[in-house]
Amino acid sequence: MKNALLADKHILIVEDDEPCRLFLEIILNDAGCSFEVAVNGREAVERVKVGGYDIVLMDVRMPVLNGYEAAQAIRLVKKDLPVIAVTAHAIEGVKEKCVAHGMNDYLTKPFTQEKLLEKLVQWTSGSARAGE
């Protein structure tokens, strides 16, 4: 179902796992968002430098540059761009670790379509495109 609050948002999906990526793409397509994909942290940093994103969905475990490292690098170039960690680690201290590495929030896998869209709306509504 289209989500009016997200219709004009441009999202960067950072995810090395193809099934996870497809799941995100299906939800975002359905919500009417536009998005691009990076398959590791380094690619994410390069894309963010070029700009144009309203928010980044950042997997944590990835090759080349993991989500924590990528988030730190993104903070050096885009101070206010919302970065949401998408992590399978529902263990104690993960939220603190995400925040310490410059991420704004986190979503634990597996998540529902509703939960993902709720986070995206929460972090993209009511403000101008961050970090531009």
Nearest-CB residue to Mg ion? 61
Residue number with CB closer to Mg ion (17 or 25): 17
Residue number with CB closer to Mg ion (43 or 59): 59
Alpha-carbon gap, residue 13 to 77, rounded angstroms: 18
Minimum CB distance to Mg ion, residue 8 (Å): 28
The site map against Mg ion for 48-87 (x = CB under 5 A) is -----------x-xx-------------------------
Residue type, 67: G
Alpha-carbon gap, residue 85 to 103, rounded angstroms: 7
15 burial level (CB within 10 Å; 0-12, 13-18, 19+): buried
Minimum CB distance to Mg ion, residue 15 (Å): 6
Minimum CB distance to Mg ion, residue 117 (Å): 21
Check: CB of residue 101 under 8 Å from CB of residue 68. yes
Check: CB of residue 76 under 8 Å from CB of residue 49. no
Give residues in contact with Mg ion (CB under 5 A): 16-17, 59, 61-62
